[in-house]
């Protein structure tokens, strides 16, 4: 049968760990069809199905579990050995963050960073998957959450806040209501159903129904900018629309979102000269954002 190609084994191990072909393909920077092709080749070589579709993604077959137990740890050892031997470019930093955070917060600030550090190269990886620093050549990530992730260093950047916003035309038509009357306006349902927390903290009555319900924050903000209704917006992501005059805050009150933005990195990054410069700049920008 010959030696098994490492690219097929890597595809199998990644899919087995993530239990999802789409996320596994993203982690390997492949299309789903390319990853599936590698899986089919490996299954043809061993003569067994290794993964089977389940209710929540893919699951290991008994033969797949035996193969995974045999190859996953040695494959990790190979990757770690290669990482230790590879020559790191101290003038290139790879940063991972979700696309919405890249568009709304980081990219508008990039010209200032590039002017200050023309000698540095910044590789941005925009993805919704949580980066695995042990397996991916990423130096630092921006994450949203509670600040506790195993095996990595995390530094607080700034809190996330929620506040009602609407388009300027909407405000002309309806005015800026008192907090107690906010529920009388056409409200847009937010992905996390945080309107209930808003009314619990600031008073007023939630409407019997929302004009439209959204499961994506960016689409929610765009709908508010088009005058559809009032959105309970995430401050960081709505900032560009507010600066552009497409959204207006209806009140100075803000609701703490219950999570914050963090700078997350593996311990190995502390020895990276370029990372230290990026880290200092990000902390500086975060301090200005949090004011």
> What is residue 87's predicted lDDT score, i.e. its pLDDT?
46
Tell me how crowded residue 179 is: count the other CB atoms within 10 A of its CB.
16
% of the chain exceeding 90 in pLDDT: 68
Q: Which residue is it, tokens 């696309």?
A: 99
- The mean pLDDT value for 41-66 works out to 90
- In the predicted structure, residue 277 carries a pLDDT above the cut 60: yes
The continuous run of DSSP H or E covering 286 comes out as: helix 273-289
Instruction: Let me know if 150 is exposed, middle or buried by CB neighbors in 10 A (0-12, 13-18, 19+).
Output: exposed
* pTM check: above 0.75: no
How many degrees, rounded to 5, is the angle at CA 118 between CA 140 and CA 288? Answer: 60
The answer on pLDDT for 24 being more than 60 is yes
Confidence class for position 6, pLDDT limits 50, 70, 90: confident
Q: Where are the beta strands (DSSP E) in 113-191?
A: 121-126, 140-145, 153-166, 188-189
Q: What's the pLDDT score for residue 54?
A: 82
Q: How far apart are CA 240 and CA 102, in angstroms?
A: 12
What pLDDT band is residue 91 in, cutting at 50, 70 and 90? confident
């Amino acid at each position: 049968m010959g030696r098994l190609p490492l690219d097929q084994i890597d595809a199998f191990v990644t899919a087995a760990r993530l239990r999802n072909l789409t996320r596994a393909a993203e982690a390997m920077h492949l299309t789903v069809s390319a990853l599936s092709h590698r899986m089919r080749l490996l299954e043809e070589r061993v003569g067994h199905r290794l993964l089977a579709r389940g209710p929540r993604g893919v699951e290991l077959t008994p033969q797949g579990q035996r193969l995974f137990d045999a190859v996953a740890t040695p494959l990790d050892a190979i990757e770690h050995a290669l990482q230790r031997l590879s020559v790191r470019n101290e003038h290139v930093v790879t940063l991972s963050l979700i696309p919405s955070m890249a568009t709304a917060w980081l990219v508008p600030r990039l010209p200032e960073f590039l002017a200050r550090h023309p000698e540095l190269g910044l590789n941005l990886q925009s993805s919704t998957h949580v980066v695995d620093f042990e397996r991916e050549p990423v130096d630092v990530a921006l994450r949203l959450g509670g600040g506790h992730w195993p095996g990595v260093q995390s530094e607080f950047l700034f809190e996330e806040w929620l506040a009602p916003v609407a388009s300027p035309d909407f405000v002309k038509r309806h005015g800026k209501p008192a907090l107690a009357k906010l529920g009388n306006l056409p409200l847009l349902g937010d992905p996390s159903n945080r309107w209930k927390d808003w009314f619990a903290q600031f008073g007023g009555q939630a409407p019997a129904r929302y004009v439209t319900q959204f499961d994506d924050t960016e689409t929610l903000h765009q709908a508010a900018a088009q005058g559809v209704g009032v959105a309970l917006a995430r401050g960081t992501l709505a900032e560009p629309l507010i600066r552009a005059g497409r959204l207006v805050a209806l009140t100075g009150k803000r609701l703490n979102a219950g999570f914050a933005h963090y700078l997350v990195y593996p311990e190995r990054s502390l020895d990276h000269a370029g990372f230290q410069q990026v880290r200092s700049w990000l902390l500086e920008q975060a301090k200005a954002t949090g004011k």
